[in-house]
Structure 1
Amino acid sequence: MTNNAARGGLLLGLGAYAMWGVLPLYFRWLGGVPALEVLAHRVVWSLALLVIVVTAMRRWTTIRAAVTARTLAMLAASALLIGTNWLIYIWAVNNHQTLAASLGYFINPLVNVALGVAVLGERLRRWQGVAIGIASVGVLAMALGAADTLWISLMLALSFGLYGLVRKTVAIDSLGGLMIETLLLAPPSLIYLMLVAQDGGGAFGGDLMLNAKLVMLGGITAAPLLMFAAAARRLPYSSLALLQYLAPTLQFIVAVAVFGEALRSLHFLVFGLIWAGCALFAWDSVRAARARR
């Protein structure tokens, strides 16, 4: 791998995770559009953009060749998982629970390790086990002291972790998989938007500025996913593992500094334990990568 490729991968990865980290600001900028409607627009306008990208790259033949009955079934499952993840995340931001959402994405890398061990039969290194144990204490503390928001964190971590597991095992590349997932989510999204518009309560159509914001959801959704896919091809896994903590860190800062969500004593304990677990996990990933080299 050349230095230019690694540098390009680093910039793409930073860009993707930074966009995901400040995404709550965009959802708030939509001015209280219901979460399900935001999700539907996100799917529809992402599909429009992806059709343009796939056509420009002349990838339709490759994508069609990769689609089998098994692949389609697995992508239907991954589409359901990512749709659930997006819906819960948008709802959390709209309902002043961005802190709980950020906690979910801090837990996610540790969930990935646990799924790798339980489902894929991967070996757990000693310090990875310690990291998961420390983070688990934080989750337990959250369960005992703030059970009302724990479901948000766990659902986000589990849905995204399971999504990653499915996408890791399905035989199709990132762009093709995203295209098929979006195609599968588009029909119910379009039906929902038409029903909402028929009742005269939809957000789209009246305010030109709001219309533009909703249309831009396509680019805001697809761009970081495509940047992440490109970064993953250029960077070692250990480097990518370190970058993934950027998004929930930015979400945490946005929740406290911009949205004014209150930090309780329990939050300091829980986030302290989660951050300690994540830091230990990141250190072990770098150490293992260096040992392999």
Structure 2
Amino acid sequence: MGETGKGLAAMTAACVIWGLSSIFYKTLSHVPPLEVLSHRTLWSMVFFGAIMGFRGRLGEIRGLLLSRRAIFVALAAVTISTNWFFFIFSVQTGRALDASLGYYIFPLVAVLLGVIVFRETLGLLRGLAVALAGVAVLVLTIGLGAAPWISLTLATTFGLYGVVKKGLDAGPVASVTAEVVLLAPLALGWLVMVHRFGAEGLVGRNLGAFGSNWRDTALLMFSGPLTGLPLILFSYAARRLGYGLVGLLQYINPTLQFLVATFLFLEPVTRWHLVALPLIWMALALYSWVTLREERAASRLRAIEATSSATMT
């Protein structure tokens, strides 16, 4: 298998894990989301720390946290932990469909943030894609009587996470490790309080699930590898595939989330969803077509430049 084939396999595997992860968090519905998030943070730190230690790169984490880049690490930690929390919350409260919509909308939010933050040119077709997504959100808001706030929160926090990461000069694994290291004291503090004082949660769910039985303990510990493995696969794939193809393959994630929410969790798909979803899919198709077209043009230009350079020498 060539490098491109390996990249495709890694990217597909990462997106499948992300897309099916809602099943995992649904099995932990009896554990409050903040407690699940705390364990996800701590066991992610253990997982990433082991990877970085095996590579002999733990010094990078210290360097990140003791440099001026620490402010970017902290901002990234806040945005990604918020995203993780609302994803867990949405799955546990029967709103996995909203989560899938959020990750469908995310690429278009990212385009909009690129215009606002980095002064990137939107272009007519990308502008039309963003406008279609906006119409879809408006349809859901009017039809359901409230804005799809979980979808918008997930899309916005993940978009802002990308903005912060763009300004952070560090590898993806090193930066995520530093983020969870910063969050670890908060997570540990919450879990200590839960196990020390918690008996019955406010929502009728038992607090302090870790150690209460082997099943919950194993599942909470597994949240670390479940978080870390797809990120490593994504990083591996991104170095071997074009930007447009990476973006296109990422739609596997919300598509699987949508199928799981609809056919496994049996969440209702309203007539307003049936109007909004095609609009979002049209927007994504347009966005993907423009991105792939630009990538092909850039590849042709690079090939011409390489040929010209070789001819001149």
Please classify the TM superposition score into its range, dividing by the shorter chain length: over 0.9
Q: What is aligned with 2:180?
A: 182
Q: What is aligned with 1:271?
A: 277
Mapping of residues 66-105 of structure 1, within 5 Å: 66-67=64-65, 69-105=67-103
1:192 aligns with 2:190: yes
The range that moved more, 148-157 or 40-49, is 148-157
Q: What is aligned with 1:280?
A: 286
Gaps of 5+ in 1: none
Gaps of 5+ in 2: 200-206, 300-313
Of residues 256, 264, 268 in structure 2, which corresponds to 1:258?
264
The range that moved more, 134-143 or 254-263, is 134-143
Task: Name the SS for the 2:2 alignment partner.
Answer: helix
Could you list the per-position Cα deviations for residues 65-101 of structure 1 after superposition, in whole angstroms to 9, with x for gaps in the alignment?
4455431001101100000011011001000001111
Contact (CA 8 Å) 2:29, 2:92: kept in 1 or not? no
1:228 aligns with 2:226: no
Name the CA shift for 1:147/1:44 in 2 (closer, same or farther; >3 Å): farther
Of residues 28, 32, 54 in structure 2, which corresponds to 1:56?
54
- Return the letter of the residue paired with 2:127: G
Distance 2:192 2:145 in 1: 37
Q: How many residues align?
A: 291
CA RMSD of aligned residues (A): 1.3
Contact (CA 8 Å) 2:104, 2:254: kept in 1 or not? yes
Task: Name the SS for the 2:169 alignment partner.
Answer: coil
Give the C-alpha shift of residue 126 in structure 1: 2.1
Q: What is aligned with 1:14?
A: 12
Distance 2:103 2:96 in 1: 11
Task: Name the SS for the 2:68 alignment partner.
Answer: helix
Q: What is aligned with 2:108?
A: 110
- Return the letter of the residue paired with 1:196: V
Greater gyration radius: 2
Contact (CA 8 Å) 1:66, 1:171: kept in 2 or not? no
Q: What is aligned with 1:219?
A: 225
Give the C-alpha shift of residue 231 in structure 1: 1.2
Identical columns (%): 39
Contact (CA 8 Å) 1:104, 1:154: kept in 2 or not? yes
Give the C-alpha shift of residue 116 in structure 1: 0.8
Give the C-alpha shift of residue 62 in structure 1: 3.5
Distance 1:79 1:217 in 2: 17
TM-score (norm 1): 0.96
Distance 2:30 2:284 in 1: 33
The range that moved more, 252-261 or 130-139, is 130-139
Name the CA shift for 1:211/1:203 in 2 (closer, same or farther; >3 Å): same
Could you list the per-position Cα deviations for residues 239-267 of structure 1 after superposition, in whole angstroms to 9, with x for gaps in the alignment?
11101111000000000000000111000
Give the C-alpha shift of residue 271 in structure 1: 0.7
Distance 2:94 2:163 in 1: 29
- Return the letter of the residue paired with 1:246: I
Task: Name the SS for the 2:191 alignment partner.
Answer: helix
Contact (CA 8 Å) 2:49, 2:58: kept in 1 or not? no
Task: Name the SS for the 1:180 alignment partner.
Answer: helix
Give the C-alpha shift of residue 37 in structure 1: 0.6
Q: What is aligned with 2:203?
A: none
- Return the letter of the residue paired with 2:237: A
Task: Name the SS for the 1:38 alignment partner.
Answer: helix
Distance 1:91 1:149 in 2: 17
- Return the letter of the residue paired with 2:219: K
Give the C-alpha shift of residue 149 in structure 1: 5.8
Distance 1:67 1:47 in 2: 14
Task: Name the SS for the 1:70 alignment partner.
Answer: coil
Name the CA shift for 1:219/1:149 in 2 (closer, same or farther; >3 Å): farther
Give the C-alpha shift of residue 148 in structure 1: 3.8
Of residues 19, 36, 39 in structure 1, which corresponds to 2:37?
39
- Return the letter of the residue paired with 2:37: L
Give the C-alpha shift of residue 64 in structure 1: 3.5
Distance 1:285 1:111 in 2: 15
